[in-house]
Each structure stands twice: as structure tokens, then as C-alpha cells.
Chains A and B, each alone.
Chain A
Amino acid sequence: MTMARTALRRTLGVAATAALAVGLAACSSGPSGSTGGGSADDLDAALEAGGKLTYWSWTPSAEAQVAAFEKEYPNVDVELVNAGTNTEEYTKLQNAIKAGSGAPDVVQIEYYAMPQFALSDSLVDLSQYGLDELEDDYSASTWGSVNIDGKLVGLPQDSGPMALFYNKSVFDQFGIAVPTTWDEYVEAARQLHAADPTKYITSDTGDAGFATSMIWQAGGRPFEIDGTDITVNLADEGTQKWAGVWNQLVEEGLLSTTAGWSDEWYKGLADGSIATLVTGAWMPGVLESSVADAAGDWAVAPMPTYDGTPVTAENGGGGQSVTKQSKNPALAAAFLRWLNNDPASIEVFLESGGFPATTADLEDPDFVGLESEYFGGQKINEVLTQASKDVASGWSYLPYQVYANSIFGDTVGQSYVNKSDLNEGLAEWQRQLVEYGNEQGFTVSE
């Protein structure tokens, strides 16, 4: 515990945290595509002239995509840098923006973090290069996520429309019907845990990304952003609707307390003690690679609803943006257009197990009709592509959502630990979000 030793260990600690976070990387990756158009002349000219670009990404497909791009456009030299996974990369990007130099030309940003960088005016409005004409190529919800305050601040790469992933063998074993509404879901949770106390309907220790997606689906719109004027209301009707359902699971101890993405969590998914996951469409890739033992056990169903009307939300997913620090924004935009719109690039992305944001692929019969071996031959993309069409509109994240998510455990998480009313935790989260926002120069009202 000497000072030097502690300092060294602190560095290692950060590295390890980063390593653990890699598990979350799967939440977002890859590109999608169809044809570009519009006033793309200067982009084509930039590709012709060539130059050097830096691209920050942690997606598994990035390396192959960059290689394919450089082969097609030999004049362009793209340097791929893995600057860390999600929050780690955002910290570096934030630092580079603050320092005024060091940011890459093109950077991967998840949807929930995009408002933070858009609002600080750090990202290029891509509509000046005519990329706004690509709107029809992308699903409505992902396109909405990259349009912030009337500016196109990125191009969507992947998407995470939510669905119910369930361990079919567990449901069959106990004769429990697959829930279609949240009331049925809670009932299934009770039945399952009563039949076998080691089994839980799902694991949830309080995850901000999950909670906000669930509120999104329930019709809650707790964050309203108008420039620097923000309204935070985590007690609106939709939020209370979700809290009402989820409270039953929390207070009755029907949720596994195994932390997501931990080693125990993967084991729980494999042995049936965590029977379902309500999560984004990128999950099959994670199951196949990290829960290989359970091949054949899992199946996909539409996300349960409150009243039977199909409605879903996005969970995870992200895209790429061009930074204002880029010395060659036209070339950067051209690379980005290829990355997230060119069929050649999107093919690489799909091969890496990503779930696309592009309508052409979401409607491609080959993609939709693909029988997944892991899921016992189920055509899972039928469910998942339908989910992407049912995403509710009108959702926005806070311009400081990265910070907001980081204090979720301090506030709402305490309700999970105490098995008490989530609304109390949500009220505390709201209080801290309002305080932080006002400290940071926003005008936040409740």
C-alpha cells in the first residue's frame, strides 16, 4: 500500500474496469446500407483527392471494414484506433474536445451519448454534405436518434429494438406460458420462483440503459430537451406505469441480483436460473458467443406490452459522427457515408453479428428469413425486425446522459438493494439530475 504501489494499482484498476466493460461492447457495433445520393459531389471529390483519417471505434467489425474501405479507395489512409469501450472512449473524446485537439475525424458514439457531444457543438452537421437525404435508408427510431436539435450529427450503424429472449427449456419444464403482457410476465415470475427458488424470471440490479428503455416503451418521456432548457420528470404517467409493474418484481424479490455482464450472469443464462432477458436485438450475437452451452434452449418472442398493442423501444445501439476538430470533414463524411451506407461495408457488419439500422437490410428476405441455429432454427429476425418497426417515437436522452447513467446505482439502485418502491429511487435520481444540470449551466425544471 505504498504510494507508488497504489498509483500503479490504480492504473491497473482502470485497465481492468475497461476490460470488464468490453462485455458491454456488444451493445453497439457495425454499419448498414443502401445507396447514397444528393449533393455528394464534394464527398466524391474528397475520396478522389484522398488523405488521412483517424477513426475511433470498438466495434468488432471496424478492422475489416477499414481494410475493405482502403482497398476500394487506395488514396485514403484510415487509422483505426480502439480508444476504449463506451464511457472510456467518451471520456477521451471529451478530454480531446476540451483540449481543442486530439479528437479523431470519425468517432463511434452510442445513441444515448450523442446528445452530450451534439450539444457542446463538437459534431459536424452532416446535412451540409447532403447526407440528410439518406433518411429513408434508416429505421425511423435510429434516424431520430442521430437528429438532435435539427442537426444530423451522425449516421446510424446498428440498432437495438427490444424483444423478449427466453429460455424455452425452462418455460417448458415448468409449464409456464410465454408472457405477452407485463402482468403475465409478473405472474410468470411468481410461478417460476415458487416452483424453483433458484430460478428467476430475469436479472436486474438496476441498469440505467434498461430502465430508460422500459420507460420509453411504457410511454414515459421523462427528459424533454429544448436547446439548453431541460425538463426532467421521472414521475410522468409512463414512468409510473413501468415502476408499477417492476415494483412487484423488486419488492417481492423476484429478480436475480446477479450483476449484468458478470461471469455469474453468463452462467445464469446458461443454466436457466435467469430465464428471460428483455433487451436489444444485438443480444443473439452475445448469446451465441458467450453462452454457447445453452444453444437450442433460447427463443425470441415480442416484447411484452401493457395493453396488447405491440410497442417496443430501442436498447443500446449507436452510430458514427464526424468531429468539428476534423481537418478534412468532407473526407471524413465520405468515409462515414461508406461505413454506414455502403452495402459492402454493411455486409461486413452483419457478418460480425450486428443488427442493422438500415431498412434495406431489415426488409431483406434473406435476413428476415434466416434460421438461427443457436435458437433451434427459429427465424428470430422476423421477431426482431418487426420490433424495429414498433419502436415508439418521441424519446430523447439527456445531454448529460452518460453522467446520469453513472449515478443510477447511487439512486434508483438503492431501491433495488432495499427491495423498496422504485419511485423513491427515481425521485432521488431526478433530484440529482436537476441539480447537476443546473450546476452545468442548463436550465432544468422538474
Chain B
Amino acid sequence: MTTTSVEIPPTAAAAATAAPPRRIRPRGRSEWKGLAFVTPFLVVFLLVFIAPVAYSIYLSLFREQLIGGNAFVGLQNYLDLAVDPQFWDGLARVALFLVVQVPVMLALALVAALAIDSARLHATGFFRIVIFLPYAVPAVVAVLMWGFIYGDTFGLAANFNDLLGSEVITPLAREWILVSIGNIVTWEFVGYNMLIFYSALRTIPTELYEAAELDGAGPMRVITGIKLPALRGAIVIATIFSIIGSFQLFNEPNILRTLAPNVITTFFTPNMYAYNLSFAGQQYNASATVAIVMGVITAVIAYVVQLRGSRKDER
């Protein structure tokens, strides 16, 4: 022991003398090394994220005509968009979709997650997979499949109508089309959201449940007292994802459009409007403007939700 204790000081002294220069030199070197590690990410980030956004902003400041070429127009595209009834029509529609469909979907996902987590179900693995399965179906296939179900001449809807001897079920009619799309989206994403909730529930320490049981808490009290507070972060995340998804609504209406061509217009959702502006109308500049404005709106709303969600967390 003595030998060891004796040997230490010289080592420490050597370390002490060597330390200052070593501390300076490695710092410079490690910065370069760090940059080398980060560069691949930065290159990809600049290329696939910053560059398209910058290019879209650049595009949105110009106007190219079929006759007459390209011209800088400043913010004119934004001013035009602000008074474009078709844009507002689409935006209002996805906003309505958002406030109705997202709560319904998240509530269903929550109930499913709590049920599977309750340990009162047999074959929870089976239910988990079955509820999640629609998410694994490619959206295009899913919508085509639902299109067959919705068909009111030969589809399942038609069979029900025949059975009832009426024509009450018309999922592709103007009054119902948004509900029909909401139904598809809910079907697709309940499982995905359920999985987010379920994995958050699995991280709750079992001691909490034991303590609750000792305190005489019933299952409902456990849900309100332990599970829901623990899920708050997951709910905020799922809500933000769903908001982004709602504002980006495109596939479902765009594919159903072949079945309901007049009911679903070219400006049914902002994304469809942007798509048709550029690909049918060659109005790339207006399309870029829609994209930028929608990006900002989505970011602002998602940020507000996150802010509210984390404030609740602090409380």
C-alpha cells in the first residue's frame, strides 16, 4: 500500500506538468475531428433540407409565364395567395378535418392502448398486431380498397343500399366525402398512435402500480392518476404528428378523386392545390408559395401545441 501511495505523486506531478499543453492542443484537434464527424450530416442536411426550402422561397419571389418568361415579383405571390379563395377553401377543409378527425383518432388509439395495457385482455399481442396492421398497408392500396367499399353502384355501400332498399349510404357524395376520408385516415393511423401510447405506458415503473394498489386505487383511478399523466408527452407528440399529417392530407383525396372527380376538386386540400398548380398549371411559383405558407402555418400550430403540452408537464 505504501509503495503504491508513494508511486502516485510522481505520476500526478508528471500529469500536472504535461497537462496544460496537452489540454490546449487536443482541444483544437478535437474541434477539427468533431467537424469531420458532423460534416456528412451537415452536407445531407443542407442538401435535402435547407436547399429545397431556400429554393422554394426563391421560387416564390418570381413569376414565370408561358409567354413572357420569368420576372421578379417580390411578395406579389404571397399577396395573391392571401386573397385566393381556392387556397382558403382547402385550408378551411383541412382545419375542419383536423379538429374532428384527430381527436377521434387519438381517443380511439388511447382506448386501445389502455385496453391492451390493462392486463385484462387475452391475446393482447394479437390485438396489438391487428390494430397496427392497417398502418403497414401502403396508403395507396388502402385507399383503393376503401374506394371499392365506398362504391355506391357496385361496392359494399351498394350492397347495403340494396339491402335497405334505399340510397342512403353515399360515402362519395359531397356531404360525406370528408367523413369518408376521415374514416380511412383513422383506420390507417389508430394503430400507429396506439403503439406510441402503448410504448409510453410500458415505461411506467411497476412500483407505482404496486403503491397505488396498496393505497386502494381502483383501475379508473390508476388510469387518471398514473397512466394519463405519464402519457402526456406521448399525446403531445402524437398530436403534433397528426396535425402535420392533416395539413399534408393528399393521398387519400387524390386517389379517391378518380371515383369522385367533381366532389374532390383540384384545390380540395392545400397540398393538392400546390400539386395541381405546378403539375397541371405550370405555376411553380404559386405552388412554392403555397408550400412555404403551409409550412409556416403547420410549424406555428405544432409549436403552439408543443408549448401548451410542455407547460402542462411542468405543472
Contacts and interface: CB of A to CB of B under 8 A. Distances in A.
B174 A417 contact: yes
A259 B260 contact: yes
Contacts of A206: 261-262
Interface string A279-293: 000000000000000
Interface string A396-410: 000110110011011
Nearest to B105: A1
Chain B contact surface mostly: loop
Interface residues of A, number: 47
Given A259-B258, A407-B266, A264 B189 contact: no
A440 B251 contact: no
B6 interface: no
B184 to A, nearest CB: 12
B153 A258 contact: yes
Contacts, number: 120
> What bracket does the count of chain B residues touching chain A fall in?
35 or more
A256 B153 CA distance: 9
A195 interface: no
Contact of A410 (B138, B143, B174, B265): B265
B60 interface: no
Given A13-B140, A436-B281, A262 B266 contact: no
Contacts of B143: 16
B105 to A, nearest CB: 9
Nearest to B263: A417
Contacts of A416: 262
Nearest to B170: A257
A12 B138 contact: yes
Given A17-B254, A94-B282, A400-B66, A413 B140 contact: no
Contact of B144 (A3, A16, A120, A403): A16
B68 interface: yes
A9 interface: yes
Contacts of B280: 87, 402-403, 406-407
Interface string B122-152: 0000000000000000111001100010010
A441 B67 contact: yes
A416 B261 CA distance: 10
Nearest to A94: B282
Interface stretch (B14-22, B25-33, B211-219, B239-247): B239-247
Interface in B156-203: 174, 185, 189, 192
5 contacts: A1-B242, A1-B248, A9-B250, A13-B139, A439-B283
